[in-house]
Amino acid sequence: MKKKRVLVTNRAATHDYFIEQRIEAGLVLTGTEIKSLRAGKANLKESYARIQDGEAFILGMNISPYDHGNIYNVDPLRPRKLLLHKKEIGKLTVMIQQEGLTIIPLNVYLNEDGRAKIEIAVARGKKNYDKRDSIAKRDAERRMQQAKARNHE
């Protein structure tokens, strides 16, 4: 199994979306951006991916400027290119043409070679009643686990 070090996670993703399919993609970054990412200074909360002219980009991903980057720092919200094969981009394009599907980032991590990767997902937005239903299921499972733990003591 490949070892990976997760740097940033989009914790709201599973709350706001039903995940249909997960895909790993490379990320084009500058030197100061990767240093800032390694320091954990990034945010995926409002970000999403878009396909333009046969290329995939991540938009709204905030990577804070590196403290010691001075003139080499770039715009924290700039669009960043995703590295995917043409077949993957074609498959994503077909999937997101369906009603209600979008591409969202789940997490950014470093693989064992030290390269920054991003896990993206094709997802369907949840309605408010779906979110309440998910919360109720999670609470019920938690209560069952606690009851099991108490019975085994």
Domains, the chain, ranges and CATH? Answer: 5-126 (2.40.280.10)
Q: What is the pLDDT of residue 1?
A: 54
Q: Please give the Cα distance from 120 to 87 (Å, whole number).
A: 16
Q: What is the pLDDT of residue 120?
A: 94
Strands 55-59 and 62-63, sheet pairing:
unpaired
Q: Please give the Cα distance from 82 to 43 (Å, whole number).
A: 17
The pTM for the full model equals 0.78
For Cα atoms 124, 91, 56, give the angle at the middle one, nearest 5 degrees: 80
> Which residues of the chain are modeled with pLDDT < 50?
none
Q: Please give the Cα distance from 75 to 24 (Å, whole number).
A: 24
